[in-house]
Structure 1
Amino acid sequence: MVKARPAAGGGRWVEISPERLRGWLDGFYGRHDGATEEGLLLTGVSNGDTARLHPPPGLADVAHVDALLSGLTRPPRIGLLLARKGAVAVGVAAGVDLVKSKVERFYVQGRTAAGGWSQQRYARRRTNQTAAAAQDAADIAARVLLPYVPGTPTEPADAIAALVCGGDRSMVEAVLADRRLQPLVPLRHPHLLEVPEPRLAVLQEAAVTARRVRIHLLP
């Protein structure tokens, strides 16, 4: 699967499923009469167009195209944390398959149009409900993900190589602020997935999305 969208600062982002990457690379070479490779940066011979490949989570250490293609054939396990104020979905994915997951919904009161004292009271209640939801989400993340942190008693092959987050950034940050989850912070991938309110189907789709190779194309 190939998805494209404009990139801030110019060019565009393309997301390629691992199974299609080799064919996409062949197409880039063909359209540009060949290309030079410098690490994960391709430069077209005919016009200087560039394509910088960004490996998916868990393969951040690959340094060149051949290593990336090899790594994609053995996808590492990753952790998933999708959070919004009304729900959280947490899972461990091996390839596109969830080996463990938990989804929970929370009640957080919507905004009110009332003014004055009543509005302040509703705002405080909403803040308290959001904090409680973040705490409950952290409890779930601890139960599901911490057994898979590298160095824990789990089998080394079962450990996650990266943590992929998605949803509302402020809610994700609130969940990961829990002291118990600090071992997950170094594993966090910088790209935040755009997802709707977390459900099991959304978590399953996130496992697929997280595997894609992101490519920044210029021009």
Structure 2
Amino acid sequence: MSTNRPAAGGGREIIVTVQRFGKWIDGFDTRHTVTGATLGLSGLRVTAEDGSLAVCELPLWGGGPSTPPEGDTRDLIDAFAEQALKPYRVGVLLARRRGFAVGVFTGDRLTESKVDSSYVQSRTAAGGWSQQRYARRRGNQAAHAAGKAADTVHRLLATNIDDLAAVVTAGDRAAVDAILADPRLAVLTDKLAPPHIGDIGEPKLATLKELPKKFWTVRIHLTEPPD
């Protein structure tokens, strides 16, 4: 998976899977000629002869090492690439109105999971008392579904939070927020890895297994001098 789009404030936002990062940085060197690199809390910054700058971040790493390593440019780039490929243990919550999926990955391998569905009534066009009755029923169903999902998130993720490098969320943001509002899940807050993944299918096992292609990535902000 790769993404290349305009970035807020200028430049390009490029997202590549960790497996493709080495190839991408080699291509950057070929096009621009790398002259330096720094590796620290802000991630990896790679500068080039023509003034181009690539700021590379690994969301699952939490921003960088506590003690930046020493070495020449190639050593620092290799250290970042090696860290990107580390098989992090990551918790995942995927939720939509009609169901949820919770999983734990080691690298891109799903090691634990629970997928479930709940009935939540669709909105109705009826008015007056009927509309209010449907709204109450729908709200009760949604609350029950969120509580059921929260139980699973607590069991699989919250109770093992110290073993997780990060927690990734996906699906419908309102549904995810409703689940995470459970007080037992407050321990997940500091490990939530941005961004929330909205462009994902229904909470099924097959969808869950494909998610590492979207979260096990390197995010690159590339700025280049004008032509």
Give the alignment's TM-score, normalised by structure 1: 0.86
TM-superposition CA deviations, 1:18-43 (whole Å, max 9, x none) = 12111110111111133433442233
- The 1:88–1:58 alpha-carbon spacing in structure 2 relative to 1, beyond 3 Å, is farther
Return the alpha-carbon distance in structure 1 between the equivalents of residues 124 and 35 of structure 2.
Answer: 57
- The 1:197–1:35 alpha-carbon spacing in structure 2 relative to 1, beyond 3 Å, is farther
Are residue 23 (structure 1) and residue 26 (structure 2) matched?
no
Structure 2: gaps (5+ residues): 69-75
Aligned partner of 2:54 among 31, 51, 56: 51
Return the alpha-carbon distance in structure 1 between the equivalents of residues 90 and 61 of structure 2.
Answer: 7
- The 1:42–1:183 alpha-carbon spacing in structure 2 relative to 1, beyond 3 Å, is same
Return the alpha-carbon distance in structure 2 between the equivalents of residues 130 and 8 of structure 1.
Answer: 35
TM-superposition CA deviations, 1:95-131 (whole Å, max 9, x none) = 1111100001111111112222222222222222111
Return the alpha-carbon distance in structure 2 between the equivalents of residues 9 and 116 of structure 1.
Answer: 48
Q: What's 2:211 paired with?
A: 206
Retained in 1: the 8 A contact 2:45–2:53?
yes
Question: Secondary structure of the equivalent of 1:3?
Answer: strand
Return the alpha-carbon distance in structure 2 between the equivalents of residues 68 and 6 of structure 1.
Answer: 24
**Identity rate of aligned residues, in percent?**
45
Q: What's 1:12 paired with?
A: 12
Taking the TM superposition and a 5 Å limit, the aligned residue runs for 1:69-108 are 69-108=81-120
Question: Secondary structure of the equivalent of 1:57?
Answer: helix
- The 1:126–1:35 alpha-carbon spacing in structure 2 relative to 1, beyond 3 Å, is farther
Q: What's 2:176 paired with?
A: 172
Q: What's 1:149 paired with?
A: 161
- The 1:142–1:35 alpha-carbon spacing in structure 2 relative to 1, beyond 3 Å, is same
Tell me how large the CA RMSD over aligned residues is: 2.0
Retained in 2: the 8 A contact 1:84–1:171?
yes
Retained in 1: the 8 A contact 2:89–2:166?
yes
Return the alpha-carbon distance in structure 2 between the equivalents of residues 98 and 147 of structure 1.
Answer: 18
- Shift, 1:198, TM fit: 1.1
Q: Which letter maps to 2:56?
A: L
Q: What's 1:110 paired with?
A: 122
Give the alignment's TM-score, normalised by structure 2: 0.83
Return the alpha-carbon distance in structure 2 between the equivalents of residues 174 and 165 of structure 1.
Answer: 12
